[in-house]
Structure 1
Amino acid sequence: MKKLLLIVFTCYIPLGCSAQQQNTSETKKQPNIILLFADDAGYADFGFQGSKEMITPNLDKLASQGVRFTQAYVTHPTCGPSRAGLITGKSQYRFGYEENNVPTYMSEVSAADGAEMGLPVEEVTMADYLKKQGYATAVYGKWHLGGADRFHPTKRGFDVFYGFRGGARSYFEYTEGPAEPLNKMERGFGNFEESKEYLTDAIANASLDFIERNTKANKPFFAFLSFNAVHTPMDALPEDLAKFPKLTGKRKIVAAMGLALDRAVGKVLDKLKELGIADNTLVVFTNDNGGPTDANASSNLPLSGIKATHLEGGLRVPFLMKWPGKLKPNTVYDFPISTFDLLPTFYSAAGGNNTELKDIDGVDLLPYINGVKTERPHQTLFWKRDARAVIRKGDWKFIRFPDRPAELFYLPEDERELNNLADQEPERYLQMYKELFAWEATLERPRWLLKKEYEWRDVERMDNFWPKKNTQ
């Protein structure tokens, strides 16, 4: 009898342990992570943002399935610095990535020029961190973080790259090569090949093989789809243009380009569902800066300002996050966040310990979204470019200009920044002025500088898209 009991007991232990190990494995299964990143899209140009002109059913569905953020900010109002902050999880101003868009189309900028301007090689990227957690990593589309070989995505933590190193290119195949070599389509490192597909579709389609391959290998993956839509040039497919008979000019074209962007997003989301991995995938959609209304007819309403300005229309962007079972669907998060929060959020979701992240400014957003933490993720946020600079402290926003006195706004009652409260709040005005300068004193000097004429141009653009200035 004792022998029988012993046999039963020893059989029970392995069975119990096996079930426990299986449950633990399921609990700790790492999510796949997909970052869908638009380029120069207008704040208002999506159905989930209230647009009645744009057709964005896939993104609208994503919004209904996840969390929509009403006060999501980029780290800079232009493409290159914004991407540098996003991918490092820190304020790019702290390593001198302040001034410029890493242009491949200007000369005489500074000591470093063209392809030599890029994300410093000592900075650790989002992909670097996720690879440490066992992720396969890929980036598709626009890089814009340096054209020289040492800045290449495959040397910055990404296993796979299909896209272009520069900042803007045709959406159609180049038959004779682009004027700027950095805008050639490249697969991997140094393998240049043009696609015959419309570029927005090509970016999405290229990612599907990576998603499927790693799903079959049971390996968690991070896919960064860095679309160049809806950045200029204004290229659209005839069949997409036909969907907007009531629109004309650039507004018609940007709507068609936005439709293609939404279609590309739909392809990715459909693939997740087809493979049965949608419930274990964290998906984020956002944009690199405010829309440049003067260039592509995008709309940032009801916000004032456009790309390259420090008004809300230059800094605040659409932002969606979906993670089934982890985030409540069809919800809204109203406190300010920043795109540099994505790195620690992804790292935490991947099972990493955020104390391992050194010298970053972002925070893990998940406990804030879920209500575990009820305070704001950020009490203070900063931006600057040359003599212009901004501090947002709580709900107050202070803007310093190069050609007029600084102004102070209370955003909950004035998101269009029309009512300067500097005279009514002199103590707050002075305190924020000093705090902004104290922050600037901690920064690295800019690694390169634009000609001053470009700064003058952007101040003019600000006034042209600031209603209170237009009425004076």
Structure 2
Amino acid sequence: MILNKKNFIKSISIIFCVLISSSNCIAQSQKKPNVIIIYTDDQGAVDLGSYGSKDIYSPNIDKLAKSGTRFTQSYVAAPVCAPSRAALLTGKYPQNAGVAGNTSATPGSKGLAASQYTMAELFKDNGYTTGHIGKWHLGMDYESSPNAQGFDYSFGHLRGCIDNYSHYFYWEGPNVHDLYENGKEVFYDGVYFPDLASEKAINFVKNQKEQPFFMFYAINMPHYPYQPTQKWRDYYKNTPKPRGDYAAFISTIDERIGFLIDTLEQLGMRENTIIIYQSDNGYSTETRAFNGGGNSGPYRGAKSSLFEGGIRLPTIINWKNNLPENTVNNQFLMNIDWMPTLAQLCNLTTSIDSIDGLDTSEMIQNSAAISPRTSAFWKYGNQWVVRKGNWKLIGNPKDTSNKGKLDFDKDALFLSNLSVDVSEMKNLADTYPEIVEELIATYISWEHGSKDDIPKKIQTVSHIGTTGEILAKSELHSNYKNIEVLLDGKLGYADYSTGQWIGQEGKDLEFIIDLKTTKQLSEISLSYLSSFGNWVFPPKKFEVSFSENGKAFSNANIKEIELSKKENNTNTASLNLNIKSRYVKIYIKGIGACPDWHTGAGNPAWFFIDEIIIK
């Protein structure tokens, strides 16, 4: 074969590239495995093709599942963003990690404490380069920042969500720009954040040639605002909204994961990189998410709920040619287990003490092996769960998927057997009272369980209003229209989500009560709730006036309600009377906006009321 100069140079170039690629492969094979944890945001329990979705296109993630292990009983330790992330990175229950709920967006506010030992610090102590890309949501002070928590490199937003083009955080005032690289604010005006994050993730991987790396790729999708690319909007143009935009966001995720995997392949790193894919909690049914878009499949619940749909989520592990392929693993594990599991798989030497996670590496390497995890606890707000074997007991359950009604006379303790029915649509508490008692005792024995958490029987109160009729004269909030609870004689728990409360955001409420006949009235009381962490404040004013014909009202009595900074849970405002009347008009004025001292200062404030007690 005769080579001309051009062909000779081309041949030498090919040989050179092969040698470089081979040297990369040899270098990668001689060091500890790289680790990438891909953590999506507010993704539904079945929202991938590999998890049974018929209307979502996710070929790259599905390929990870096909060439790896897909879990069917994988859980996160909390149903919302921040505590789920804290649990993942520390191997601890959120309460032990010090992040039991979502962290504040206020500049300088604390989050994950510096004293917590994170997964990033574990890998760093074992010679890894560590990187965080995407969402953080674990605090706004330096000690809580990614670079102070073991990450050599960080790029992304610190708060819970941003607009993907302006990179502004809109959900607590004032509107604020939120994009940082290694603690320094950076500006990429108008550049699509998922593309920015993808580019930064790929560049981070490309720069790791001499030592292994750990990357926490915290993708901020499909969390609202739903802003998929036009390519994927067009693909789902015939899918009704919000499902169409949500699905397009999943495909936007999938496409960028494909870019990352292609990079690993090109660099010869693929076989020496462990990839974990997981969602932080279930899909959102919040107003800003258009009340849905995601799908929890056979499971009840969504984000903010401790039913399965809020915490049992898509999870995949893939280590090409090193871990089982095309495997479905039905064993029980949690996100707190990844820290000790990865330490074992990567042969890390640093000891990990005082964590709640368990090493599940043997079960992952052999799906026939039994998981070391047989029980777990969850606690979020006043909801709590203890799972022991296949029995699961929920205290004060909340169904954000709205798949069924909860009767808080009967369902305050909700028992399921997950080996028989994963839907959690039937409460077995009355059928197996001995199991309920056993699980209550187990929960109380947990360091964060308490007898005070156990639901008490709903209090009832007898008053003349229960025989009357109530009519709303102001616009009700779309989520709180069951005004009959205001005269049902039952007092609500100290939680606005129990179905016993009527809520209003930023506006006032007005009702007319028809007592059917003229009656002598001596007192009218209003039950209300304080929960500042949920932006719930006492009403500013409670006013009653009276009428014999239901049209002309007079003799107004007003109760001003003092706003205290102290959380008081349930409260009562009362007016003493001496009047005869058939019709009573009730006017409740809210404070309007969150006060200056609150993290949501300037934004619409909520108030919640329950029983209107008429004597």
Same fold at TM > 0.5: yes
Structure 2 Cα separation of the partners of residues 69 and 176 of structure 1: 34
Cα distance between partner residues in 1 of 2:269 and 2:123: 19
Residue in structure 1 matched with residue 382 of structure 2 by the alignment: 387
AA aligned opposite 2:359: D
Give the aligned partner of residue 119 of structure 1: 112
CA distance change for structure 1 residues 133 and 27 in 2, over 3 Å: closer, same or farther?
same
Higher normalized strand content (fraction of residues): 2
Match of 1:345 among 332, 341, 344: 341
Q: Does 1:199 align with 2:201?
A: no
Does residue 405 of structure 2 align to residue 408 of structure 1? Answer: no
Alignment correspondent of 1:17: none
The equivalent position to 1:289 in structure 2, one of 271, 281, 303, is: 281
- Structure 2: give runs of 5+ residues left out of the alignment: 1-26, 398-407, 453-491, 501-615
Q: Distance in 2 between matches of 1:73 and 1:132?
A: 27
Bigger shift: residues 404-413 or 131-140: 404-413
Percent identity between matched residues is 31
AA of the residue aligned to 2:249: M
Cα distance in 2 for residues equivalent to 1:298 and 1:256: 11
- Corresponding residue of 1:76: 78
Q: 1:442 offset after TM fit, Å?
A: 6.6
| Per-residue Cα deviation, 1:260-303 (whole angstroms, up to 9, x for no partner) | 10111111111000101100100000000011135341111111
In structure 1, the residue matched to 2:141 is 148
Q: Is the 8 A contact 1:146 1:165 kept in 2?
A: yes
Alignment partner of 1:362 out of 353, 357, 366: 357
Q: Which residue of 2 aligns with 1:44?
A: 46
> What is the letter of the counterpart of residue 302 of structure 2?
I
1:426 matched to 2:420? The reply is no
Pair 1:272 & 2:268 matched: no
1:127 and 1:392 map into 2 onto residues whose CA distance is 29
1:369 is paired with a residue of what secondary structure? helix
CA 335–257 in structure 1, closer or farther in 2 if over 3 Å, else same:
same
Q: Which has the larger radius of gyration?
A: 2
**Residue 164 of structure 1 contacts residue 186 of structure 1 at CA under 8 Å; is this kept in 2?**
yes
- TM-score, normalised by the number of residues in structure 2: 0.64
Shift of 1:180: 5.6
In the alignment, which residue of structure 1 is the partner of 2:532?
none
1:65 and 2:62 are equivalent in the alignment: no
Q: What displacement does 1:328 show? A: 1.0
Tell me, in whole angstroms, the C-alpha distance in 2 between the residues paired with 1:48 and 1:195. 36
* SS of 1:429 mapped into structure 2: helix
Instruction: Summarize the Cα distance change of 1:183–1:176 in structure 2 as closer, same or farther, 3 Å threshold.
Output: closer
> 3-state SS of the aligned residue for 2:155?
strand
Equivalent residue in structure 1 for 2:204, among 199, 202, 210: 210
Residue 602 of structure 2: aligned partner? none
Q: How far has the Cα of 1:346 moved from its partner?
A: 2.0
| Cα shift readout 1:223-279 (whole Å, capped 9, x = no counterpart) | 111011010112222222000122122111111111110111111111000101100
Deviations 1:64-122 (A, max 9, x none): 01000001100100001111100001112124422x21132xxxxxxxx6642301110
Letter in 2 for 1:91: Y
Counterpart amino acid of residue 69 in structure 1: F
Aligned to 1:435: 442
User: What residue number does 2:90 align with?
Assistant: 88
> Which residue is 1:223 aligned to?
215
Structure 1 residues 135-189: Cα deviation after superposition (integer angstroms, max 9, x where no partner): 0000011000001122110111000011011111011135999966775111112
| Structure-2 change in CA distance of 1:279 and 1:175 (3 Å) | closer
* 8 A contact 1:34–1:225 mirrored in 2: yes
Which of 233, 239, 251 is the equivalent residue of 1:247?
Answer: 239
- Residue 129 of structure 1 corresponds to 122
Structure 1 partner of 2:394: 399
Query: What is the CA–CA distance in structure 2 between the aligned matches of 1:384 and 1:136, rounded to whole Å?
Result: 34
- Residue by residue over 1:298-352, the C-alpha shift from the partner in whole angstroms, topping out at 9 and shown as x without a partner, is 1111111110011000111100000123211110111110001111122222321
Deviations 1:381-401 (A, max 9, x none): 100123321011111101111
Rounded to whole Å, the distance in 1 between the matches of 2:367 and 2:305 is 35
3-state SS in 2 of match to 1:214: coil
Question: How many pairs are equivalent?
Answer: 418
Q: Determine if contact 1:135/1:222 at 8 Å carries over to the other structure.
A: yes
Whether the 8 Å CA contact 2:28–2:269 is kept in 1: the answer is: no
Q: Which has the higher contact order (CA 8 A, sep 6+)?
A: 1
Residues 395 and 204 (structure 1), Cα distance of their counterparts in 2 relative to 1, 3 Å cut = same
How far is the alpha carbon of 1:28 from its aligned partner? 6.4
Query: Which amino acid letter does the alignment assign opposite residue 311 of structure 1?
Result: F
8 Å CA contact 2:29, 2:272 repeated in 1: no
**Other structure's SS at 2:377 match:** strand
- The answer as to whether partners of 2:98 and 2:113 remain within 8 angstroms in 1 is no
